[in-house]
């Protein structure tokens, strides 16, 4: 029997995050975008919610809640509803902690996870996207090769969130096995590893409050135990699907934010003696947006549900990723059209939603469920 209802714990988490996004994130979204940074006090209040620590086992200092992709998707959607850049910053540590929990050795988890259970925000990051037009996460150009007891990684990355702040980064590279084929592989690399260079902060169209950088890896040597689930392609497919679900859930949040803003504006804005939302063209557009938001969420939840059952969710996660990236941009653009000329000025949030929505077609590995 299919059940579309969240359990009691998930409902409580969702209500908590909804209130935080409404009362804390959204009021700071415009200022954060203008200044290009997230207020430290806001980061701390987000950290105090325990959204990173909750799934880390008690033996490492966390709260011991079992990791759930569906719960992660709910959190990502609601935070992104407040603001995508702030949400990505708050959840960036999960880009490292979730893969560690899923695929890391006991020794590696013991070494790295306690840092994410402290009293203040601890940055984490993942370097997935590469600066080339034909980038494919299933066949990264960044190389990984075995040398003695270690592995050596070389390549270039871009759009790395908090790359200059995180002490450790998860890097996606291509490992050539005996069959001659290149297989994706995740490695944990310390920022102070010889040969690793963090580039200048990128100047992006959207997500201006989120610091992203380039990353150059020149023969960086990492210990064997920092290569996660080496040779296990099923594990790497699962990791890719967790990335897809996380990013897709954030896209739902942005789309819903744009739709809600346009709907409320259409109720209040009057023309020729009536609210513009009563005009058939506007009403039909809003109805389409509402249907698409629900369709997006169902695709995301189906993929997350399969991941929580430890089933192969590649098809579902890819469909969610592709559909949400396209539809979120369309919804944000339609929201701007509902506002007309007002949508183009910065007095309204829709231009920010539109700039952020454009990134979903490009940014892989920016979030994880």
Burial class (CB in 10 A: 0-12, 13-18, 19+), 369: buried
Per-residue DSSP letter, 25 = I
- In whole angstroms, give the CA distance from residue 257 to residue 190: 36
Candidate list 130, 302, 316, 364, residue with the active-site label: 364
CB 190 within 8 A of CB 233: no
- In whole angstroms, give the CA distance from residue 89 to residue 20: 15
Strand partners, 217: 155, 196
364 is catalytic: yes
- In whole angstroms, give the CA distance from residue 143 to residue 249: 30
Burial class (CB in 10 A: 0-12, 13-18, 19+), 23: exposed
- In whole angstroms, give the CA distance from residue 90 to residue 113: 17
Map residue 163 onto helix, strand or coil.
coil
β-strand pairing of 125-127 with 168-176: parallel
If phi > 0 it is left, if psi is from -120 to 50 it is alpha, else beta; for residue 50 that is: left
Residue 173's H or E segment, with its range, is strand 168-176
Strand partners, 221: 152
Burial class (CB in 10 A: 0-12, 13-18, 19+), 324: buried
CB 151 within 8 A of CB 125: no
Catalytic residues: 364
């Amino acid at each position: 029997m299919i059940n579309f209802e969240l359990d009691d714990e998930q409902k409580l988490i969702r209500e908590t995050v909804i209130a935080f996004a409404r009362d804390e994130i959204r009021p700071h979204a415009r200022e954060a975008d203008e200044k290009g940074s997230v207020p430290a006090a806001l980061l701390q209040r987000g950290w105090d919610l325990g959204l990173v620590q909750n799934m880390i086992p008690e033996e490492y200092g966390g709260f011991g809640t079992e990791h759930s992709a569906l719960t992660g998707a709910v959190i990502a959607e609601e935070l992104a509803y407040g603001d995508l850049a702030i949400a990505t910053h708050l959840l960036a540590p999960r880009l490292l902690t979730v893969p560690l929990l899923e695929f890391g050795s006991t020794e590696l988890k013991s070494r790295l996870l306690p840092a994410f259970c402290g009293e203040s925000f601890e940055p984490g990051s993942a370097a997935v996207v590469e600066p080339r037009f034909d980038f494919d996460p299933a066949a990264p150009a960044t190389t990984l090769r075995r040398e003695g007891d270690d592995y050596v990684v070389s390549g270039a990355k871009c759009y790395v969130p908090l790359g200059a702040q995180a002490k450790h980064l998860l890097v996606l590279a291509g490992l050539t096995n005996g069959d001659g084929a290149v297989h994706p592989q995740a490695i944990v690399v310390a920022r102070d590893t010889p040969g690793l260079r963090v580039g200048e902060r990128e100047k992006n169209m959207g997500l201006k409050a989120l610091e992203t950088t380039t990353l150059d890896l020149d023969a960086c040597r990492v210990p064997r135990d920092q290569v996660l689930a080496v040779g296990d392609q099923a594990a790497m497919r699962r990791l890719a699907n967790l990335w897809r679900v996380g990013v897709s859930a954030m896209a739902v949040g942005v789309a819903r934010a744009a739709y809600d803003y346009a709907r409320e504006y259409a109720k209040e804005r009057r023309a020729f003696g009536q609210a513009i939302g009563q005009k058939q063209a506007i009403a039909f557009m809003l109805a389409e947006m509402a249907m698409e938001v629900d369709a997006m969420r169902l695709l995301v939840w189906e993929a997350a549900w399969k991941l929580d059952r430890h089933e192969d969710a590649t098809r579902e996660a890819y469909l969610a990723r592709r559909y949400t990236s396209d539809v979120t941009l369309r919804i944000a653009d339609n929201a701007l059209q509902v506002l007309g000329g007002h949508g183009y000025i910065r007095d309204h949030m829709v231009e920010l939603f539109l700039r952020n929505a454009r990134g979903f077609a490009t940014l892989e590995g920016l979030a994880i469920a």
